[in-house]
Chain A
């Protein structure tokens, strides 16, 4: 259930952007979801379908990009991608002296829309 409020926030950003663009319909939404937020993609999709009914974004395809956290090893200097559950040690050298950052953003990156004017360029417009 944790994704409900997040999905409401996603939808409101999407609709605001779509209305600002004078769109007739949103066909796709590009999302970035940090892997360390514990949000589940399927659950976001489920709520999006439910919440977007009757809005410009009904039926829009969600393209979700998981953004992993970044680990940095203080011993070998290596960097590695991190998804929960976190490992306590560097996957490259085994050192426990690691630090983890990032992976906690949630962004609407872009939307794809059908234009508001059905025939902006008249018949045969590209």
Chain B
């Protein structure tokens, strides 16, 4: 005899529980954690490097690098004397909360003010997997085209800020900035958008200013 059993369970509830544990660990250590997501090649590692150059030197930064394979990105970060942990997902196209949890054992959280988690380059799955980060930042880039918010709404729906990298290429590419902005505004009204170029440095200060303000707000909350 067949029986009908109601379940009504979010399929990623196990991941979400691990993410909540990560967030508790981050909060206990009092640091701000940022999940950086983008398609491959949009400039996640470049943004981290450009940010490190301009952030106040008194801030202690750590990085978790997620890649399907290789340690290329981690080596670029380590060259700046920043503590970095590489996660190789071995084929998985995104990081999940348990992967981040195992990476945390290689970092001393109380010795950090800011932790970047660089997700695997992909505009689909990383949106679904909460890592326990406080902020989700999506990096788009001019050569990808202005239609990304329309095609990958799930990614932008959950973002706290969007960086549009490679802005120096704008004159050479048919990128409709107002269409891009509009796509963001119908999904996330009022979301901060930073036009910048990691290559030329234009616009990076505005992004770093916003990030620093987020850090200060977080510390204010934490101190209360």
The interface of chain A, by Cβ under 8 A from chain B, is: 1-2, 4-6, 9-10, 12-14, 17-18, 21, 23, 27, 34, 36-39, 69, 71, 82, 84-88, 96, 98-101, 103-115, 120, 125-126
Contacts and interface: CB of A to CB of B under 8 A. Distances in A.
A118 B179 CA distance: 60
Contacts of A34: 154
A114 B5 CA distance: 11
A13 B154 contact: no
Contact of B128 (A37, A103, A110): A37
Contacts of A4: 92
Contact of B182 (A88, A120, A126): A88
Interface residues of B, number: 41
Contact of B5 (A2, A111, A120): A111
A21 B5 CA distance: 8
Given A85-B150, A88-B186, A113 B7 contact: no
Contact of B12 (A9, A17, A126): A9
A117 B124 CA distance: 42
B14 A69 contact: no
Q: Is the interface of B mostly helix, strand, loop or mixed?
A: mixed
Nearest to A86: B150
Interface of B: 1-15, 92-94, 96, 122-125, 127-129, 147, 149-154, 157-158, 179, 182-183, 186-187, 189
A110 B3 CA distance: 10
Contacts of A84: 150-153
Contacts of B179: 88
B39 to A, nearest CB: 12
A38 B92 CA distance: 17
Most chain B C-beta atoms within 10 Å of own C-beta, residue among A27, A105, A113: A113
| Nearest 9 pairs of A and B residues by beta carbon | A9-B11, A86-B150, A36-B153, A2-B124, A38-B124, A85-B150, A17-B7, A108-B7, A36-B154
A36 B7 contact: no
Contacts of A1: 93
Given A13-B11, A99-B186, 10 more contacts: A4-B92, A21-B3, A23-B3, A82-B153, A84-B152, A85-B150, A86-B153, A86-B187, A100-B153, A115-B3
B80 to A, nearest CB: 32
A107 B10 CA distance: 4
B11 A6 contact: yes
A23 B5 CA distance: 10
